[in-house]
Amino acid sequence: MKPTLVILAAGMGSRYGGLKQVDGLGPSGETIIDYSVYDAMRAGFGKVVFVIRKSIEKDFMEVFGNRFKGKVPFEIVFQELDMLPEGFLCPADRTKPWGTAHALWVARNVVKEPFAAINADDFYGFDAFRVLANALSKPNLHKGTYFMVGYCLGKTLSEQGYVSRGVCTTDSNMMLQTCVERTQIVRINGKVYFKNELGDNVEVDETLPVSMNCWGLAPDFLNYTEEMLSGFLSGSISNAKAEFYIPTVVNKLVGEKKATCEVLPTFAEWFGVTYPGDKPMVMERLNELVAKQEYPSPLW
């Protein structure tokens, strides 16, 4: 059974100032999603599931509907604020999506096989999909067997402003011990800092592996997500900025020894668009990859 790729594409794009999911950045107008899907299919994935908001469906399908038709098996599921477990109602003032783990939860009815989960606006590189496909295609993949592609923190920052990253610690066998979501990470005078809950800058080792939301997960992850989502909402539903993250679920399961998560090394280089100022750099990098003949142009 081939693994599935779940692409999380319901983000608001508030810092970018628009729908970066459909922004043409490649030399022939390709989006970052195009490159992720292209890499995943040649690495051995079987289908793609897009998690989007209903409000962008028309724009999304105008770009990708005909492009993937007959070439890439895909499904679309919607992540809306009112899609919550029974007994919970979305607060009227909530505008922010509920987070990456909630995005996987809404896809639970169409994902039954081992799967990878990635962001729509991050370029991960072919090797990341190769190592994930190899890991997820192992026969008899046990429940609670998860993977994460690890990138070096210092190579994932933006010169345009702060970023959020899942900063990881591992044991000697590259098994994940913790993955803590750190926000407002920025380089200041050659050193890397994140902002803690008190608003103070805390220095962090830039050589640590970080999660760029490039996960490989056994299907049982979705069952655990459903259980934990109710607990998260019970304590945080009134917090307009609270989000339910994939690392939150992974940390809990690893800590309770219900799961293991291997950090997979990759020589792929990550880049992405968080701010409008990131766009020229991304376009330049994609042009370089095409010039090196690592990708055709046009891609499809």
All structural domains of the chain with their residue ranges: 4-291
Average pLDDT over residues 198-212: 92
Using alpha carbons, list the distances in angstroms from residue 83 to 52, 120, 162, 167: 13, 21, 30, 29
Q: What is the mean pLDDT of residues 199-213?
A: 92
pLDDT at 12: 53
Give the whole-angstrom CA distance, residue 2 versus residue 107: 17
Quote the pLDDT of residue 237.
95
Q: What mean pLDDT is reported for the chain?
A: 92
pLDDT score recorded for residue 13: 53
pTM: predicted TM-score of the whole model, two decimal places: 0.90
- Please state the three-class secondary structure of 58-124 as a single string: HHHHHHHHHHHCCCCCEEEEECCCCCCCCCCCCCCCCCCCCCHHHHHHHCCCCCCCCEEEEECCEEC
Is 59 a residue whose pLDDT tops 60? yes
Structure tokens at 255: 């800590």
What integer pLDDT is reported at residue 16 of this predicted model? 43
**pLDDT attached to residue 17:** 46
Residue 249: closest CA among 271, 266, 230:
230
pLDDT at position 155: 86
Give the pLDDT of residue 180: 86
* 63 contacts 23 by C-beta, under 8 angstroms: no
Other C-beta atoms lying within 10 Å of the C-beta of residue 227: 11
Three-class secondary structure of residue 253 per DSSP: helix
Do 8 and 272 meet the contact criterion of CB atoms below 8 Å apart?
Answer: no
Model confidence pLDDT, tens digit, residues 133-165: 999 998 888 999 999 999 999 888 888 888 888
At the second CATH level, the architecture of 4-291 is Alpha-Beta Complex (3.90)
Q: What is the pLDDT of residue 216?
A: 98
Mean pLDDT check: name the lowest of 29-33, 66-70, 82-86, 256-260: 66-70
- Over residues 244-271, mean pLDDT: 93
Query: Which pLDDT does position 193 carry in this prediction?
Result: 95
Cα torsion angle, 166, 95, 159, 60, sign: positive
Would you place residue 267 in the very low, low, confident or very high pLDDT band (cuts 50, 70, 90)? confident
How much is the pLDDT for 74?
97
Q: Which residues contact 64 (CB under 8 A, 6 or more apart)?
A: 22, 33, 50, 74
Q: Provide long-range contacts, Cβ within 8 A and 24+ apart, for 228-235.
A: 228/101, 228/252, 229/84, 229/85, 229/101, 229/102, 229/105, 230/85, 230/87, 230/88, 233/84, 233/85, 233/88
